[in-house]
Amino acid sequence: MKKAYNFFAGPCVLPESAIDQTIAALKDFEGTGIPVVSISHRSKEWEATMNECRALWKELLNIPDNYSIVFLGGGASLQFLYVAMNLFEKKAGYLETGVWAKKALKEAQGLAKSRGLAADAAYAVASSADKTYCYIPKDYTIPTDLDYFHITTNNTIYGTEIKKDIDCPVTLVADMSSDIMSRPVDVAKYGLIYGGAQKNVGPAGVSFAIIRDDVLGKVSNYIPTMLDYKTHIEKESMFNTPPVFAIYIMTQTLKWLKGIGGVEKIQKINEEKAALLYNEIDRNKLFVGTAAKEDRSNMNVCFVMAPEYKELEANFLDYAKSNGMLGIKGHRSVGGFRASIYNACPVESVQALIKCMQDFEKSI
């Protein structure tokens, strides 16, 4: 079987131990004789897994006691609406740093319109759209009259990342879909952290939300039952049948992360992987990085062909694929290349891509 190196930006590379445990659980979950995909979410064995998953989140991110963690279906895109439904009363501010940040803002603006609020009730406090989202805005002031300020910490399409927890005078909300668990986070600085699991903490099919107790219950408008965070907090993520299979794999992934040393250890590994690849991009005459150097993502490394070699883009993609590099084509909206090197992507994959880039350079 030919060696494949997975750099796709969607479903993440999963730890081998998580895959092996899941294969076993597909045959027999916790000695029940029932596959994990068929287990009752009301069984004591499943409740133990849910409790273990929740405990791992709390331990790995050092989540304070005044926060709740819920696991939901629908992905981060549905969370865009959850956030607005649960927190938006009069005014909401967003940091627009890419497509997903813009889509999150769109949901708040649509909700504002439906409620008859002013057109600017939900708006971008700052944006990097002027340069195709290649940087993170710096010189902006967060208004103190906002219900919340929303950021997207990592931008998968454009390869930028907010790597430090910002200070915020209002409730801070963060979409951490693609860099959660990749570094330590001071959770106490946030009112709400959410995201889809499929980048660093599991497969597609489940999303997470970490919610400070005091941010809820302040909205006067009706919140549909399924879109009310309180519904899921009170029922411990089992108001309806949870995405059992995805949560099981998430649990195994977090056990792997804890086993290798937690978020402090994985941060060092991620920084080392990213540095190796960015150094090659900067050295290699054929390639140019697209994100501002100070804002380069450790999760999604985006680059293009140097202008004088632009005509070789398709050739490099074919060459890379023939050498086992899968998923390095850039997002369809920006083109170029993108190597997604999430937590479980091994350094060997990055080294293989670097060698591929070097060999292709030598062939020109």
Q: Give catalytic status of residue 46 as yes or no.
A: no
Q: Give catalytic status of residue 28 as yes or no.
A: no
* Structural tokens at position 97: 């740093």
Pick the catalytic residue: 46, 57, 100, 256?
100
List Cα–Cα distances, 279 to 25, 307, 337, in angstroms. 41, 19, 16
DSSP 28-96: -STTSSS-GGG--TTSHHHHHHHHHHHHHHHHHHT--TTEEEEEESSHHHHHHHHHHHHH-SS-EEEEE
In DSSP terms, 180 is beta-bridged to none
Residue with tokens 């140019």: 288
Residue with tokens 């219950």: 217
Pick the catalytic residue: 91, 163, 199, 273?
199
Pick the catalytic residue: 175, 179, 228, 295?
175
Rounded Cα gap, residues 101 and 308, in angstroms: 33
Q: Give catalytic status of residue 329 as yes or no.
A: no
Q: Which helix (H) or strand (E) holds 125?
A: strand 122-127
Rounded Cα gap, residues 267 and 152, in angstroms: 19
Residues annotated catalytic, as ranges: 100, 175, 199
